[in-house]
Structure 1
Amino acid sequence: MIAKIMNGFDRAVAACKQYDFIALLGIRLYLLPVIYVGAHSKVAGFSEAATWFGAPASEGGLGLPFPVLFAFLAAATEVLGLVCIALGLFTRAMAIPMMVLMSAASAMVHLPRGWLAIASKDMESSQRLTGFLSWLAENFPGRYNYITELGDPVILNNGMEFAATYFVMLLVLFFYGGGRHVSLDYWLRKRFAA
């Protein structure tokens, strides 16, 4: 009985494999706005990014040597990564520098803040927000209702959680590529494969 169920399930999964490219396309589409935000902020605000890269940690910066070079490399990697991942072009190769960039960002920016991307209720920042919202509810109930009617406000902790998720998604693209049918890698390989 159990063997029949397992065999039936295996057959159903095998039948669905023809659509496995949808998962890789989904990962690529999910990553696009994430990469775009980072790339756009570095390109549009290049001098600010370079200043942040070079500023000492005591001033909220990263304290990197050669900040202009590192800001350029980060921006170029994100712009090229955005284009390649969008098109599914050189997906596996492009995942490598994107993972290196994500690892560097994780180690330098996110790791000191712990795991959580959103501050938990017991963190000082969340407690301050709760205090502010209580004050707002008592003194300006109309404003409180306006702020909270669409959901509970949260504090961004900027921990490792999102960066680790994006790293894992890039790792999947490295191992499996951009997918069939909807990536240029697939069509180039199909066209030029011996």
Structure 2
Amino acid sequence: MNIIALYQKSISKLYWFNGIPALLLRLFLAPIMIIAGFSKLNLSDPDVTGFEILLASDNVVNWFSNAEWGLGLPYAELLANLAAWTEFLGGWMLLIGLFTRLITLPLMFTMVVAATTVHLEHGWFAVAPSNSAVSTANVLDWLGIDAAQRSLENSDQVYVRLNKMREILAENGNTDWLFEKGNIGVMNNGIELAATYFIMLLALLFIGGGRFTSADYYLYTYWLKPKLQLNNTL
């Protein structure tokens, strides 16, 4: 057996395991979406009771509506509740792989809205790199993109500020305790995470919930497929 035939045979065996990548994508995304939606709802506020626990919190609605420090969107209450429940219910649907392709569409839309209205002005990085030598912006800089050089310069400034923070903390704080859970960083709040989640959701749109690993697979195999076969015989 030549190398090409062996390769083709090996690849054909992967068919039986192609549900695993979809499962891993879903398991990665589901908690993120669930908590994103949960945090927008009054469900997360122990002081709110009754029907109001199912609604978006006042803080979230105000953030959607206020043009000065928020998104400045019309119909803020409606949009806030749609966003919250899309993320919350959508996350649970992703977790079990139910109507996976369908739910990715509104979730992708929320990622686009988040990226363009909240994160775009801050650039790409979610956490600002503090070492320009290993920043991924170098690749874009090699390709001659001007914005990449500005990003690298920003990394150098982040490095200076982080060092100053460490100096201040070393002089005035218990650094063993302060850094026990991890080092300090500068939140850049760019579109990196929203874009990453969008790409992962886009992948699920194309590949579905996963063979053997999703509710979609069993719904199709044991409910929809027999009905389709029956209709074709009538």
TM-score w.r.t. structure 2 length?
Answer: 0.74
Match of 1:31 in 2: 29
Correspondence 1:160-171 to 2 at 5 A: 160-171=191-202
Aligned residues: 188
Distance change >3 Å, CA 125–CA 43, structure 1 → 2: farther
Deviates more, 1:80-89 or 1:128-137: 128-137
Q: Which structure is larger by alpha-carbon Rg, 1 or 2?
A: 2
Q: Bigger CA drift: 102-111 or 11-20?
A: 11-20
- CA distance 1:164–1:133, shift in 2 (3 Å): same
Runs (5+) with no aligned partner, structure 1 = none
Matches within 5 A, 1:96-135: 96-121=105-130, 122=155, 127-135=160-168
* Aligned pairs (5 A) from 1:1-194: 4-44=2-42, 46-56=57-67, 58-59=68-69, 61-121=70-130, 122=155, 127-140=160-173, 143-191=174-222, 192-193=224-225, 194=228
**2:41–2:57 Cα contact (<8 Å) kept:** yes
Give the CA deviation at 1:39. Answer: 0.6
Tell me, yes or no, if the aligned pair for 1:126 and 1:155 is still in contact at 8 Å: no
Check conservation: 1:99, 1:167, Cα contact below 8 A: yes
> Structure 1 residues 32, 51: closer, same or farther in 2, change over 3 A?
same
> Which amino acid counterpart does residue 123 of structure 2 have in structure 1?
G
Partner SS, residue 125 of structure 2: coil
**Alignment check: 8 A CA contact 1:126 1:154 kept:** no
Q: Give the stretch that moved more between structures: 6-15 or 18-27.
A: 6-15
1:123–1:176 distance in 2 versus 1, CA, 3 Å: same
CA distance in 2, matches of 1:23, 1:7: 25
Q: CA deviation at 1:152?
A: 2.1
Which amino acid in the other structure matches residue 54 of structure 1? S
Q: Deviations over 1:123-178 (max 9, x none)?
A: 656643431211111333xx112222443211221111111110011001111110
Find the aligned partners of 1:48 and 1:171 in 2 and give their Cα distance. 30
Q: TM-score, normalised by structure 1?
A: 0.88
Deviation at 1:14, TM superposition (A): 2.1
Equivalent-residue separation in structure 1 for 2:19 and 2:114 (angstroms): 29
**Over the residues paired in the alignment, what is the CA RMSD in angstroms?**
1.9
- Give the share of equivalent positions with the same residue, in percent: 38
Question: Structure 2 CA distance, aligned partners of 1:126 and 1:155?
Answer: 9
